[in-house]
Structure 1
Amino acid sequence: MLDTRFVRENTEIVKEALKSRNSDINIDEFLVLDKKRRELLVEVEQLKSVRNKVSEEIGKLKKEGKDAEEKVLSMRKLSQKIKDIDAEVKTVEDKLHDFMLGIPNIPHSSVPTGVDENDNKVVRTWGEPPKFEFDPHAHWDIGTGLDVLDFARGAKIAESRFTLLKGLGAKLERALINFMLDLHTKEHGYTEVFPPILVSTDSMMGTGQLPKFGAELYKCADDDLYLIPTAEVPVTNIYREEILKEEDLPIKFTAYTPCFRREAGAAGKETRGIIRQHQFNKVEMVKFTKPEESYSELEKLTSDAEEILQKLGLHYRAIELCTGDLGFSAAKTYDLEVWMPSYEGYKEISSCSNFEDFQARRANIRFKTENKKVRLIHTLNGSGLAIGRTLAAILENYQQKNGSVTIPEVLRPYMGGIERIE
């Protein structure tokens, strides 16, 4: 959430930022509500001042033994008027708060201006696409042929876009999770956490999933709880309504969780295989940093995700998202896209973002400086990585002519020494 005072004092900057995001939010509505709120607050303070004077006059009259009934009646009317205005202030403040919840973050000045994904900027690439002496197959055909992915039974158990992993497919999924967690905790300095995968409305509000993306979430019918779309939600909310110590920053968490998304708009080839599932596993990285360090920490966060792809030997590119393609809460984002032979192109496998104080203001996460000043913290997160998409990339990029799949060397210790799925 943006700072109300910032929006009030920098209206044109906010309007331009929203325009660059292709947002249709009308900031003039905010200005009307904000002005109304401030006018009501002035009016109610004036009435309270008058009421205090009347109260003093009543006390003086009673002390002198004089009739104070008229003044008492006047004070009752003032009190009722104040009560009515307080109620109106509450209504306006609620509307203002709801409006502010719907405003996306302001893009950082370094973010390229653009309309959509076509205007994103490739900042670097690593490796080369594999060269095959045969026509490569899609991961869904490879996985089915090796009997490690079962789409029919996954759909029977649940519905379409739920997949059953079997045998070495399930083992490879687990190997990827453990490999990523080990790398982040042993080499990158993250602390592992395993959070709840059901979270409250307040938690969803804190990270910006609600109210905007409610239709994409799975909600428990009888409880005020949601299945998480990403570990970003519970991990960021670890410190909701808390004040941290400056000397403890940055705080770095990593978490493996199942994730759940309705993905209502997905269609076509996107729905085949395990690229876009309703349930999927992901290893997440979350950072809490001082504002002046958040952008250097974003570069480190992105590098931590990239190292996984490099160790797996998967060709990828890093993309800097333009203003029109930024996520709702992000001030700056890098996407990592892995090469997928079946698409003859790249698919997103990680998204690394700096939210600055946008989430911290919503979730009230602060830190106390050495001089005892309390400031909003900056939050960052990134996928490190999406497990299903990584598994799909391995099946496609390491496939062999005879239908088998070679296991990347770095994963073999996690696979009990197995070198090939066949």
Structure 2
Amino acid sequence: MLQVQFIRQNKELVLERLAVKHFADAVAVVDEVLALDDQRKKLTLEYDETQAKVNSASKEIGKLMASGDKSGAESRKQEVAAFKQALGPIDEQLRSTEKLLHDTLVKLPNLPGADVPNGRTPEDNLEIRRGGDIPTLAEGAVPHWDLAKKYDLIDFELGNKVTGSGFPFYKNKGARLQRALISYFLDFNTGNGYTEFLPPFMVNEASAYGTGQLPDKEGQMYHMQEDNFYLIPTSEVPLTNVFRDEILKESELPVKITAYSPCFRREAGSYGKDVRGLNRLHQFEKVELVQIVHPDKSYQALQEMVSHVEKLLQSLNLPYRILNLCGGDMSFASAQTFDFEVWSAAQEKWLEVSSVSNFETFQTNRMKVRFKDENGKNQLVHSLNGSSLACPRIMATLLENNQTPDGILLPEALHKYFGADRIA
């Protein structure tokens, strides 16, 4: 959530950056925020002045009574009663204005950073670099959903029967490969200084609000209405909320944590060939990275996280490219995002497998995550997160890109985790 004071002091900059994110109602919403803040200040002043009159008159009553001026004291009591009666409506209007200000403020997305390209669609994203070799498959190569059936790795029809479309059953060596990927990703992360967590897979409303999933403008979260819990779309949500309402020591920064979790997304509005097989699921497994850092070091941390994910993909021998997302293709809460895509040789297209994002203070302002600086002043920290990695499309490309007449060859990094060098 943006801070009102920053908007007031930097209105033109705010409008300029919101234009990069192609937020349609920027001028109207910003003007409404400032008008409501003016109203809030006016009501706060009126309330404080009225309360001061109550306090002053109350003190005089005691003095008048002590001096024997009962008539004067009674007059003052009537004034106090009138002032107190006036406080109620002012307080009610103030609370209403504060709520409306908050509800309007949360409509504004995070401001994109200075290096974010100005564009609306994925075609406007800026490719930073590529790595790895795109394989040439032998004649007769097939996509991963056919390989999954051939080697009895994944049962999409059974998942559809038991739950519904987008909830596959992994089985036999498919289940083992999924477990191998998760274990390898976690070990890679902890070996690079991240502390492993295993978080809850449901969160309360305050947690979902804190990381920007609520208000759920696109209706993508699964909501357990009886208990008002939400199934997590990523472990970013519980991990970042570990520090909600906390004041950290500067010496504790940066905080670096990682976690495996299933992820649940309704993926409303997703249809067609791009959702086939493992390409887009309602439940999938992912390993996540989260950092809580000093505000002066968050963009350094962002580049370190990009490098970390890149090395992980290199260890899997997968061809990849890194994209600097344009303003119109970024998430609501992000200030800058780098996407990683891997090449699916059988499908002949790029598949997103990771997003690494800096949220600056957007999430931490909502969650009140702060640190005490060297001057003893509380400041908001910056939060970042990234996928390291999402399993389904990684598995899809590993199967497709490494298919041979003798089976599916696996990268060396997975041999000890999988217990073999191939699926045959």
Q: Structure 1-normalised TM-score?
A: 0.96
- Residue in structure 2 matched with residue 94 of structure 1 by the alignment: 99
CA distance in 2, matches of 1:401, 1:87: 75
Could you tell me which residue of structure 2 aligns to residue 419 of structure 1? 421
Residues in 2 aligned to 1:233 and 1:322: alpha-carbon distance in whole angstroms: 24
Task: Tell me the CA shift for residue 8 of structure 1.
Answer: 1.6
The answer as to whether partners of 1:138 and 1:342 remain within 8 angstroms in 2 is: yes
Whole-angstrom distance in 1 between the partners of 2:382 and 2:31:
28
After superposition, the Cα gap between the structure-2 partners of 1:121 and 1:151, relative to the gap in structure 1 and judged at 3 Å, is: same
What is the alpha-carbon distance in structure 1 between the residues aligned to residue 318 and residue 341 of structure 2? Answer: 10
Q: Which amino acid aligns with 2:86?
A: K
Question: CA separation in 2, counterparts of 1:180 and 1:171?
Answer: 14
Aligned mates of 1:298, 1:343 — CA distance in 2: 31
Matched residue, 1:47: 50
Give distance in 2, aligned partners of 1:260 and 1:306.
Answer: 25
Q: Does 1:321 align with 2:325?
A: yes
Q: Secondary structure at the match of 2:242?
A: helix
Aligned equivalents of 1:369, 1:11: Cα separation in 2 = 27
The whole-number CA distance in structure 1 between the counterparts of 2:385 and 2:141 is: 34
Please say if 1:405 is aligned against 2:421: no
Say which of 114, 118, 136 aligns to 2:119. 114
Check whether the contact 1:102–1:212 (CA below 8 A) recurs between aligned residues: no
Using the alignment, how far apart are the partners of 1:309 and 1:134 within structure 2?
26
Structure 1 stretch displaced more, 133-142 or 168-177: 133-142
Q: 2:356 aligns with which of 346, 352, 366?
A: 352
What is the aligned partner in structure 1 of residue 65 from structure 2? 62
Structure 2: distance between partners of 1:370 and 1:52: 38
For residues 35 and 251 of structure 2, the distance between their equivalents in structure 1, rounded to whole angstroms, comes to 42
| CA distances 1:289-312 after superposition (whole Å, capped 9, x unpaired) | 111111111111111111111011
Q: Does 1:216 align with 2:227?
A: no
Report Cα offsets for 1:357-402 as digits up to 9, x if no partner. 1111111111122332221111110000001111111011111246
The whole-number CA distance in structure 1 between the counterparts of 2:217 and 2:200 is: 20
Give the residue type in structure 2 aligned to 1:52.
N
2:393 is matched with 389
Task: Identify the residue that residue 255 of structure 2 maps to in structure 1.
Answer: 251
Is 1:369 the counterpart of 2:373 in the alignment? yes
Q: SS of the counterpart of 1:212?
A: coil
Give runs of aligned pairs for residues 118-137 of structure 1, distance below 5 A.
Answer: 118-137=123-142
Query: Partner residue of 1:156?
Result: 161
1:21-47: CA deviations, max 9, x gaps?
Answer: 121332111122111111111211222
Q: Is 1:275 paired with 2:289?
A: no
1:116-195 aligned within 5 A: 116-186=121-191, 188-195=192-199
- Which structure 2 residues correspond to residues 220-239 of structure 1 after superposition, within 5 A? 220-239=224-243
How far residue 52 of structure 1 moved from its aligned partner, in angstroms, is 2.9
Q: Separation in 1 of the partners of 2:290 and 2:341? A: 20
User: Would the aligned equivalents of 1:114 and 1:323 in 2 still touch at CA under 8 Å?
Assistant: yes
- 1:29-77 per-residue CA deviation (whole Å, 9 max, x = no partner) reads 1122111111111211222233233324433432333313333222212
Contact 2:137 2:346 in 1 (8 A): no
Query: SS of the residue aligned with 1:335?
Result: strand
- The answer to whether the Cα contact below 8 Å between 1:134 and 1:401 also exists between their aligned partners in 2 is no
The aligned residue for residue 33 of structure 1 is 36
| Unaligned runs of at least 5 residues, structure 1 | none
Q: Unmatched 5+ residue regions in structure 2?
A: none
**What is the CA deviation profile of residues 142-191 of structure 1, one whole-angstrom value per residue up to 9, with x for unaligned ones?**
111211110000111101111001100000000001111111112x1111
Q: Is the 8 A contact 2:2 2:110 kept in 1?
A: yes
Between 82-91 and 128-137, the greater mean CA deviation after superposition = 128-137
- Mapping for residues 265-304 of structure 1, pairs under 5 Å: 265-304=269-308
Supply the distance in 1 between the matched residues of 2:45 and 2:249 (Cα, whole angstroms).
37
**Secondary structure at 2:404 match in 1:** coil
Distance 2:108 2:144 in 1: 39
Aligned mates of 1:133, 1:259 — CA distance in 2: 34
- Assess if the C-alpha contact under 8 Å between 1:258 and 1:281 holds in 2: yes
Provide the rounded CA distance (Å) in 1 between the counterparts of 2:265 and 2:178.
Answer: 19
8 Å contact 1:259–1:280 — kept in the other structure? yes
Report which stretch shifted further, 68-77 or 93-102: 68-77
User: What is the root-mean-square deviation of aligned Cα atoms in Å?
Assistant: 1.4
Partner of 2:83: 78
Contact 2:137 2:345 in 1 (8 A): no
Cα separation, 2, equivalents of 1:12 and 1:91: 28
What TM-score comes out, normalization by structure 2 length? 0.96
Is 198-207 or 22-31 further displaced after alignment? 22-31
Q: How many residues align structurally?
A: 419
